[in-house]
Every structure is written in C-alpha cells, then in structure tokens.
Amino acid sequence: MAYNNNRAAKDEAANEYIEKVVSLNRVSKTVKGGRIYKFAALVVVGDGKGKVGYGLGKASEVSEAILKGIADAKKNMVQITLSGTTIPHEVIGIYGAGSVLMMPASTGTGVIAGGAVRSVMEAAGISNIRAKCMRSKNPQNVVKATFNGLMALRGPEEVARIRGKSVEEILG
C-alpha cells in the first residue's frame, strides 16, 4: 500500500508544472535501406509563479522526445522578476538572429504574443504582456531570446540596491 501512496505523491509533484510543447520537428536521415525518421521537441516548463525553463529533447519517437525535453527544461529552470501579473519594464531579448520586444501591459490586456513567446509567458505565469518577435521566427531562437530578455529584468528593489537609494526614490 505504501507504494501506491508514494506513486500518488509523485504524480501530484509532476502535475505542479505547466508543460507546453513549442515545436515538434521531424528530421530524416537517408541510409542504404531507406529513411530513418527522428523527432526533436522544444518544450517549455513553468510553475506559473515566475519559475520557468526550456529544453530540447531528441528521440526516435515523439513521446520520448517530449519526455526528454521536459526533463531538460526542469534541469534548466530560472526565476524571473515579475511585477504582479506583468513584467516590471520594457525589455528586448536577443539570441542569434532572434529578437523579442516585451512590454508590460495593464491588467485585463492578456497575453498578446506569438506562438513561441506565448508558451513561455503562460508557463511563467505572466498574464498581461505585449510582445513582438522581430527578425528571426525560428522557435528555438525566439524561445532563447525570450529567456534572455526575461533574465535581464530588474525589479525596483534590485535597482535601488545597485544605485544605493531607497525603493521610494526609484519609484518617484
């Protein structure tokens, strides 16, 4: 009986994360006997409270690739700075040729963003934001650019600490 209780606890712990498959890519290799197909899955995992990560899983079956991507995403999770349900300030994230402009939005705006950016925002728990993918539309570069932008966010407490002032002086 203890085994079943332990298993239920593991299932609850696994369900605490929001898992989104951003892209699923099928690649083929031609060999002497024909073609070999493999799959690459880009997955975003978050807790809906500002902790989010992404991972790339590759395998010969779709389900295995997604599971590998989820495991990789859980290993690479980062905490991002939030201001309620949005971000504290405007930021541009850049990775390779991908560039993402993210702007805070007032309550009730919703997530105005494209596919790859939308998945990251929903997994992170950001519910009011405006975002625009500029330049590259490659999902991997867009996700990495979004993460670079989100990790560059600073809250008023951090800015005040760096400048040696109080939070009230920073906020005006």
Please give the tally of structural domains in the chain: 2
Range of the structural domain that residue 97 is part of: 80-161
DSSP per position, the chain: -HHHHHHHHHHHHHTTSEEEEEEEEEEEEEETTEEEEEEEEEEEEE-SSSEEEEEEEEESSHHHHHHHHHHHHHHT-EE---BTTB-SS-EEEEETTEEEEEEE--TT--EE--HHHHHHHHHHT--SEEEEEEE---HHHHHHHHHHHHHT---HHHHHHHHT--HHHHH-
Q: What is the CATH number of the domain that holds 156?
A: 3.30.230.10
Write down which residue in 49, 78, 107 finishes a domain: 78
The model's pLDDT over 92-144, given as tens digits with 9 standing for 90+, comes to 999 999 999 999 999 999 999 988 999 999 999 999 999 999 988 999 999 99
Least reliable range by pLDDT among 3-7, 37-41, 110-114, 129-133: 3-7
Tell which of 25, 58, 78 closes a domain.
Answer: 78
Which domain-ending residue is among 78, 108, 139?
A: 78
166 domain-assigned: no
Specify if 15 maps to a domain: yes
Task: Assess whether 93 and 57 both reside in one domain.
Answer: no
* Per-residue pLDDT, 156: 86
